[in-house]
Structure 1
Amino acid sequence: MTDNSVTPVTRIAVLVGSLRPDSLNRRVAELLVDRAPEGVVLQIVDGLAEVPFYDERLDAETVPAPAARLRQTVAAADAVLAVTPEYNGTMPAVLNNAIDWLSRPYGQGAITRKPFGVLGTTPTPYGGKWAHEDAVRSAGIAGAVAVDGGIVSQSALEVDVLADDEVIDRFLSVVQALAAHQPVAA
């Protein structure tokens, strides 16, 4: 007898808060894509630099193509993961802008009811803690659901975050928390 059962797949859209292609947080996101647990697919949402700053006048019948792609990608995902550094004590503007676009229309945006987690690293003792807290708060106001165990802020001062198995396991714990989160009813 053949087992024809299909393992369910959890799709996680990854928003990277740094625009530099070789940024440490981008490399962390790529590492997570490569190391995703079985049954989990992470997709880095490219093109955030092309999404115009949110302006209600642009959010009309025809939405700018980069914003429409962002919304479509996140709407098709089961969860959202932000991987971000911290700029001046808060999240980068590109991440904030993405959340702004994903929050509209209010109560029905692409991020509404999506499990949300955030992780990242900075060369500071706090590892991006304030940016991560701000991202969770902003995404929550936009309608996302912060997942228990869904925040990891890692200092890069004394550890190679791309090679340290303990750090990578903490990052992967956020992915696992997102994948294990039960859907939120509409």
Structure 2
Amino acid sequence: MKIIALSGALRRASYNTALLRAAAGMAPAGVSIELRTLHGIPLYDGDVEAQGIPEAVTTLREAIRAADALLIGTPEYNNGIPGVLKNGLDWLSRPSGEGTKLFGGKPTGLVGATPGGFGTVQSQDALLSVLRAFGCDFWMAGRLMVSRAGTVFDADGHLVDDRVREQLGQFVQGFVGFVGRRSS
């Protein structure tokens, strides 16, 4: 089983990238979780699209298409979806109709980490409407929202909080089970 873990943040020391990296380290035997970012994807512009889909978009699209599932790690900026993540999803949905071809029926899960105290509940909720438009097979049994992420990861981006490590491990096991049931 192959899962693409897409980080919705660009920052080198992103808590969401670190969270997805930790999830990849918890993948059970026979499961690979491959981390991807949105680096190199330009701001969506119909004039750019008219010249062709950028290579970074095509590369990410093909990785998602080849995967059994998608796990998105989202920050929360100003109570919503980070612009870079929404922009990346917008590009992946182009040309018109590509979103449902790429994401339709794709098992999808959400996690998120933020330095704030309320987790990423609003960002994850806002992403649900986008994922619904794409027809994703969203895993409703589990979401992970990490608050105060600055205390959960060390300076090198390693997960150091035992409670969050346990929650993430349960999330990964549950999501892998969900994907497995969809694949059989």
TM-score by length of 1: 0.82
Map of 1:12 onto structure 2: 3
* Kept in 1: contact 2:26–2:172 (CA 8 A): no
Distance 1:175-1:97 versus aligned 2 partners, 3 A rule: farther
Which structure: greater strand fraction?
A: 1
Tell me, which stretches of 5 or more residues in structure 2 are unaligned?
A: 154-158
> C-alpha distance in 1, partners of 2:50/2:182?
29
Counterpart pick for 2:20 among 29, 38, 42: 29
Asked if residue 127 in structure 1 is aligned to residue 126 in structure 2, the reply is: no
The count of corresponding residues between Structure 1 and Structure 2 is: 175
Tell me the CA shift for residue 33 of structure 1: 1.5
Counterpart pick for 1:71 among 61, 66, 80: 61
Distance 1:176-1:101 versus aligned 2 partners, 3 A rule: farther
> C-alpha distance in 1, partners of 2:20/2:150?
20
Counterpart pick for 1:179 among 159, 167, 176: 176
Tell me, which stretches of 5 or more residues in structure 1 are unaligned?
A: 1-9
Q: Following superposition, which runs of at least 4 residues in structure 1 exceed 6 angstroms of deviation?
A: none
* Kept in 2: contact 1:119–1:153 (CA 8 A): yes
Distance 1:56-1:108 versus aligned 2 partners, 3 A rule: farther
Cα offsets for 1:71-107 (capped at 9, x unmatched): 1011011111111211000111111122223334426
Secondary structure in 1 matching 2:182: coil
* Kept in 1: contact 2:100–2:134 (CA 8 A): no
Cα offsets for 1:37-78 (capped at 9, x unmatched): 2222111113x1311233444445832101101110110111
Q: State, as a whole percentage, how many aligned pairs show the same letter.
A: 32
The aligned runs of 1:33-72 (5 Å cut-off) are: 33-46=24-37, 48-59=38-49, 62-72=52-62
Structure with the larger RCO, 1 or 2 (CA within 8 Å, 6+ apart): 2
* Kept in 2: contact 1:116–1:150 (CA 8 A): no
TM-score by length of 2: 0.83
> C-alpha distance in 2, partners of 1:108/1:28?
27
Comparing 92-101 with 168-177, greater Cα deviation is found at 168-177
* Kept in 2: contact 1:89–1:130 (CA 8 A): yes
Cα offsets for 1:88-146 (capped at 9, x unmatched): 00111111122223334426432221111111211222111101111222122122121
Comparing 153-162 with 18-27, greater Cα deviation is found at 153-162
Distance 1:142-1:55 versus aligned 2 partners, 3 A rule: farther
Secondary structure in 1 matching 2:140: strand
Counterpart pick for 1:166 among 153, 163, 167: 163
